[in-house]
Chain A
Amino acid sequence: MSTTTERPTPSGATAAGRGTAVRRRTSLKPTVVYALAALVSLLVFVPGTPSDVQTVFQFGSGREFIRIPNLPVPSLVTIVLLTVVLAGAAVWAFLRHRARRPLNAWWHVLVGVAFITAFLTYVGAGRSSVIPMVSLLAGALALSVPLVFGSMSGVICERSGVINIAIEGQLLFGAFAAALVASAAGSGWVGLLAAPVAGAAVGALLAWFAVAYRVNQIIVGVVLNTLIIGLTGFLFSTLMSDNKALWNTRMPLPRLPIPVLSEIPVVGPVLFNQTILVYLVYVLVAVLQFMLFRSRWGLRTRAVGEHPKAADTVGIKVNTRRVLNVILGGAVAGLGGAFLTVGSGLAFGREMSAGQGYIALAAMILGKWNPKLAVLAALLFGFSKNLGNVLSTIGSGVPSELLLMLPYLITIFAVAGFVGRVRPPAANGTPYTKS
């Protein structure tokens, strides 16, 4: 065991440390993963599919102006073709590795799509039930939205050097406040205003302890999560249960279909017939991506997170910046919480965030503290989660529990296979004191 672990890993620090060798650093990992995908397809999907059946994909949602017909494809032929694509990708990745050339990231996407399509074709082969693409994608988006909000919150905080484990608490408190206020005011919109305030309050507590009192940030985060679970649970079983009509009536936000765009087949109903919160996600990600790398705020935030002393030397107020960022991050996560209640048209439930804050944290790390990539990670997670849900309702031969494990298994594969060692902001988690 020691011989394998002491050897520097393919993407390990030793190769990176030698300056000139950096350009040459390629990894065999994509080849192995692609080949595995091709093998699974060849050994499981191909033999498991009868030769004379079809898989029916449904692309319509029933709302379009022009009805989109279902698309039946011959199952076996499709799977064989996709297997060839996967094998080809593996060969290409290997050749690139041999030539010590980098592999375009789009290959990951191609292999992912091909593999998932092959899997769906295999599952739907010869069944009377169709594969509902629209609800598959729409559900995936719905499951991703709180994760995206959460991971953006994480990015904002951790880029400035404060670890935000309290995303979970911020989501939950946002969900709670949104439900409570919306119910009392009789309007989902009012709840939408309350959520970021509640999230920011948790963020402010985190900042107060972590920055002002220099308490270990992980401790404060974990403890705040416990505190919020306890507090909301307590109020849920006292206040909200005593007068459910007043304090916990469901107040859904209206769907706002965007004219024209929402008429596009498949994409339209999925992306452009949503509540305001989903549109906010689009704006938030774009703005954050731009601001973080192209604005004065972003430069200062990153400086404070990477090298607070240097930032302080040029006159940036390190701790003020951190406090403001953590509060802002809390507000963002609070909005994500609002999606769980008013955004999905649900009443508040005990511990309804159900660990999604931690998954958002994982998405942020998986996305290397970069908004763009974190969104991809969150979407990957939401999609695989919904894939598991949809497949276990369609009823494939696989036990539903194993399907529901999918997102978590895929995340582990993603983090071990593609991402590997990630580098957090250098000063992440270290309190700054002027000396």
Chain B
Amino acid sequence: MVKPLTESMVFSVPLILAGLGIAVGFRAGLFNIGAQGQIIVGAIVAAWLGFAFDLPPVVHLLVAILGGAIGGAVYGGIPGVLKARFGANEVIVTIMLNYIAVYLISFILRQPTFNPGRTGQRSPAVSADATYPLLIPEWLVPGNTFRLHWGFVVAVLATVFVWWLLERSTVGFEIRAVGANPKAARTAGMSVGRTTIITMVVAGALAGLAATGQVLGTEGSLTAGVAASYGFDAITVALLGRSRPWGTFFAGLLFGALKAGGFLMQSLTQTPIDIVLVVQSLIVLFIAAPPLVRTIFRLPAPSARPRSRRAVKEAAA
């Protein structure tokens, strides 16, 4: 009974973290499709720090987490800098960087350091000191097989951090101002370029944290498919969460549950897991279209016009 719940949480960790990264981008009017690449680069750095070094227990984990976040931040910073400095469209650059990251990881996994035994597409296991401890330890629930690890706590903390960043900090105010109206923000004396770079760095760092959940937690080593489709699923998560931190958190939980359930469903009833994608997209579609739902259920329109979503329309431009 509890095991499936914890499995849902396991799957939700990368979704929440990467989703937060994309949500931050949306709030600044940036359409960051690059979570996939940022996860991969973060995973490479985190895994390398995890297996190639020998550090004291807690320090090692913190170093590996930080490394993953920095890896993602640097990779996310590239489109930010290119946009701020050269006006390069972030949609193009992040898409291209995704592909580059895919080739990068398959190149790196062929290098002797990452593939000493030439056994296949898997790096050495991350050392025990650098892995997230299990969240529900043996002494609390004896004999449990839960895979849920402290990565989930990182996801919660990150959600709180992003909430604070966006709603309570000066940087967050600038991010929202630039997202709402870059011209007005510039007139008000904010540096749009600087905000763009900061946003992308934060987004990349969050995606990098998502990667640590995989390599330092669930997977335990670096594989070519480390990012799976989390980077793209995260876009849907951020959309469903309406780019709000807690909204993204709960959307991540929901999609994590759907993913965990999907795998179980596939093995039990041979229903292809693709049906989960259909369900997910329908959920977002209906939630994004209140007028449609009102039409279907013949609900009256609310008297006050709902506040229009702070559009991400600039983003695709």
Q: Is the CB of B291 within 8 A of A6?
A: no
**Which residue in A2, A11, A226, A411 is a CB contact (below 8 Å) of B281?**
A226
Specify which chain B residues have a CB less than 8 angstroms from the CB of A4 in the assembled complex: 85
Given A215-B288, A412-B97, answer yes or no on A222-B92 (Cβ-Cβ < 8 Å): no
**Are A415 and B281 in contact, CB atoms less than 8 angstroms apart?**
no
CB-nearest residue of chain A to B84: A5
Given contacts A218-B31, A227-B278, A416-B93, contact A405 B103 (CB under 8 A): yes
- B277 engages A229 (CB within 8 Å): yes
**Which chain B positions have C-beta within 8 A of A232?**
274
> Is the pair B97, A399 in contact by a Cβ cutoff of 8 Å?
no
A362 and B284 form a contact (CB under 8 A): no
Within 8 A of A (CB), among B28-85: 31, 33, 82, 84-85
The answer to whether A419 and B289 have CB atoms under 8 Å apart is no
A161-173 contact mask (Cβ, 8 Å, vs B): 1 or 0 = 0010100000000
A366 CA to B87 CA in the complex, in Å? 12
B89–A422 touching, CB < 8 Å: yes
> Which residue among A5, A234, A419 has the maximum number of chain B CB atoms within 10 Å of its CB?
A5
Q: In the complex the two chains form, is A230's CB within 8 Å of B275's CB?
A: yes
Which of B88, B309, B313 is in CB contact (< 8 Å) with A419?
B88
User: How far does the alpha carbon of A223 sit from the alpha carbon of B289 in the complex, in Å?
Assistant: 12
B313 touches A365 (CB 8 A): no
Shortest Cβ distance from residue B63 to the other chain A in the assembled complex, whole angstroms:
25
Q: A30 CB to closest chain B CB, in angstroms?
A: 13
Contact A209 B197 (CB under 8 A): no
Write out the residue numbers on chain B whose beta carbons fall within 8 Å of the beta carbon of A402. 103, 107
B312 contacts A by Cβ under 8 Å = yes
User: Is A238's CB within 8 Å of the partner chain B?
Assistant: yes
Tell whether, in the assembled complex, residue B91 and residue A361 are in contact, meaning their CB atoms are under 8 Å apart.
Answer: yes
CB A165 to nearest CB in B, in angstroms, measures 7
Inter-subunit contact A216/B274 (CB<8 Å):
no
Select the residue from B86, B110, B197, B280 with max chain A CB neighbours within 10 A. B86
From the candidates B88, B194, B239, name the one contacting A2 in the complex (CB within 8 A). B194
Q: Is the CB of B313 within 8 A of A362?
A: no
Once bound together, how far apart are the Cα atoms of A219 and B98, in whole Å?
20
For A1-18 the 0/1 string (1 means CB < 8 A from B) is 110111001011000000
* Residue B95 CB within 8 A of the other chain: yes
Contact indicator A213/B291 (Cβ below 8 Å): yes
What chain B residues lie within 8 Å of A416 (beta carbons)?
82, 85-86, 88, 93
The CA of A223 and the CA of B279, in the complex, are separated in Å by 11
Mask of A344-386 contacts with B, CB within 8 angstroms, 1/0: 0000000000010011011001100000000000000000000
B89-A415 in contact (CB<8A): yes
Tell which of B85, B277, B311 touches A216, judged by Cβ atoms closer than 8 Å: B311
| Nearest B residue (CB) for A224 | B281
CB nearest to B280 among chain A residues? A226
- Decide: A230 near B274, CB < 8 A? Known: A217-B313, A412-B93, A429-B317: yes
Say whether B85 contacts A9, CB under 8 Å.
Answer: yes
Which residues of chain B from 187 to 208 have any CB-CB distance to chain A below 8 Å in the complex?
191, 193-194, 197
Instruction: Check A399–B194 contact: CB distance below 8 A.
Output: no
CA distance A237 to B271 in the complex (A): 9
Whether A366 contacts B316 in the complex (CB less than 8 A), given A2-B194, A222-B239, A230-B277, comes out as no
CB of B180 within 8 Å of the partner chain? no
* Distance (whole angstroms) from the CB of A285 to the closest CB of chain B: 21
**Bound: A362/B316 CA distance, A:** 10
Of A2, A209, A415, the most chain B CB neighbours within 10 A belong to: A415
Q: Which residues of B contact A226 (CB under 8 A)?
A: 232, 236, 277, 280-281, 284
A428 on interface, CB distance cutoff 8 Å:
yes
Instruction: Report whether A230 and B281 are in contact in the complex, using a CB–CB cutoff of 8 Å.
Output: yes
A408 to B292, CA, bound (A): 39
**Which residues 383-406 in A have Cβ within 8 Å of B in the complex?**
399, 401-402, 404-405
Decide: A399 and B107 in contact? CB cutoff 8 A.
yes
The residue on B at minimum CB distance from A426 is: B317
| B88–A223 touching, CB < 8 Å | no
A402 to B104, CA, bound (A): 8
- A48 beta carbon closer than 8 Å to chain B: no
Residues of B110-134 whose CB lies within 8 A of A? 110
Q: Nearest Cβ in chain B — how far from A8, in angstroms?
A: 10
Say whether B282 faces chain A, with CB atoms less than 8 Å apart.
yes
User: B278 near A365 (CB under 8 angstroms)?
Assistant: no
Interface string of B278-305 (1 = CB under 8 A from A): 1111101100110110000000000000
Give A359 to B33 CA distance when docked, in angstroms: 12
Shortest B34–chain A CB gap in Å is 11
Is A88 an interface position by the 8 A CB rule? no
Interchain CB contact under 8 A, A415 and B272 = no
**B87 with A11: CB separation less than 8 A:** yes
Take A209-B289, A229-B277, A415-B93 as given contacts and tell me if A421 and B87 are in contact as well, using a CB distance cutoff of 8 Å: yes
Whether the pair A213, B104 counts as a contact (CB closer than 8 A) is no
The closest CB in chain A to the CB of B279 belongs to A230
Let me know if B313 and A6 touch, CB within 8 A: no
Q: Tell me if A209 and B194 are in contact (CB < 8 A).
A: no
Are the CB atoms of A420 and B285 closer together than 8 Å?
no
Q: Top 4 nearest A-B pairs by Cβ distance?
A: A230-B277, A421-B87, A429-B313, A233-B274
A residues near B (Cβ < 8 Å) are 1-2, 4-6, 9, 11-12, 163, 165, 209, 213-220, 222-224, 226-227, 229-234, 236-238, 355, 358-359, 361-362, 365-366, 399, 401-402, 404-405, 408-409, 411-412, 415-417, 419-422, 424, 428-430
**Given pairs A216-B309, A224-B281, A401-B103, 6 additional interface contacts (CB within 8 A):** A223-B285, A226-B232, A231-B278, A237-B272, A412-B88, A429-B311
A-B contact pairs, 27 of them (CB 8 A): A2-B191, A4-B85, A5-B84, A5-B194, A11-B87, A12-B87, A163-B313, A165-B316, A216-B312, A219-B284, A220-B288, A222-B239, A226-B277, A229-B274, A230-B275, A231-B274, A358-B33, A401-B106, A408-B100, A412-B88, A412-B97, A420-B86, A420-B88, A422-B87, A424-B316, A428-B313, A429-B314
**B residues lining the A interface (CB < 8 Å):** 31, 33, 82, 84-89, 91-93, 95-100, 103-104, 106-107, 110, 191, 193-194, 197, 232, 235-236, 239, 272, 274-282, 284-285, 288-289, 291-292, 309, 311-317
